[in-house]
Amino acid sequence: MPTRSPVMPSEKELRQLAATRRRRQVQRRRASALGALGVLVLAVSIAIEAGSSGQGRKDGSAAPHVAVVPPPGEATRRRLAAESRAIDHVMDYASFIASGGGTKREIALTFDDGPGPYTPQVLRILRQFHVKATFFEVGFMERWFHSSTTKALQEGHTIGDHTERHAKLARLKRPEQREQIVSQAEWLEKLGAPRPRLFRPPFGSFDARTFRVLRNNEMLMVLWSVDSQDYRRPGAKAIVRRVLGAAKPGAIVLLHDAGGRRSQTVAALPEIIRKLRKRNFKLVTVPQLIMDDPPPPGQRLPRYRGVG
């Protein structure tokens, strides 16, 4: 049988073959780059997981060098003492606060889940508008972003406790709840902050055991009356609209400076401040709100759903 002569590819087929080879080369380079990125992401995830587990906590090996806040001056000590007395007064008749009394045109802006990459931007805006706020912070985030905590303290903001690892406390036994709360309090003390008197439960999750732990540690639970829902990232305009729509005297506004991408919150914050002030609201910390406009006895305990 005669041997069949090989057919030479046409010029068009040669161009197609060359294009296919180029695509495959690009795909291999992309795969290589993604592989390297995957290794980096995995390494970072492992580092964060190790940090959040609390390993190395006793000897400080898991924590970076910490810049401690200088001791407060006399004026700051007097302010802190007055705030502590006001908190003690509220704790004589209540175990939580969801808003002030509503007798003065004051509103407290609060930020959860920090410190984080967006916290410096939030602090810069607050500094620009001469506003003091309250930050409820997560312990393991201090390992990487504690400089924002020390900056917030130096600028007169209030720092509260938001657990060590942003835990849903109602799912935990009492000793585990205590560990979550006390570990973050110890972190703040390590940074030179006063031992926190205010606590906010992540996800609005708590139970009777939470209140017992807080009472034993002389801490008041701070909930909220206005949920900006910024954790859903609905857009800066929607965040502004939700805050303004629910704003009233004594309100405590829930915002976030960490726990995800917070560029929308940063974009919304100046407009929130400007428009609240246009309505003649004074923006204060939660302790200042408690001093000026304490909540009445018998506030209803809110039930939160779908909280970030």
Separation of alpha carbons 79 and 65, rounded Å: 29
Quote the crossing angle between the two packed helices 263-278 and 236-246, to the nearest 10°.
40
Of the residues 112, 113, 161, 293, only one is catalytic, namely 112
114 in Cβ contact with 257 (< 8 Å): yes
Residue 112 among the catalytic residues:
yes
174-177: which pairs have CB atoms within 8 A and are 24 or more residues apart? 174/209, 174/212, 174/213, 177/209, 177/210, 177/213
273 in Cβ contact with 130 (< 8 Å): no
Quote the crossing angle between the two packed helices 142-154 and 174-190, to the nearest 10°.
60
Of the residues 113, 162, 256, 257, only one is catalytic, namely 256
Separation of alpha carbons 29 and 22, rounded Å: 11
CA-closest candidate to residue 63, choices 149, 4, 1, 121: 149
Residue 59 among the catalytic residues:
no
Q: What amino acid positions are annotated as catalytic residues?
A: 112, 256
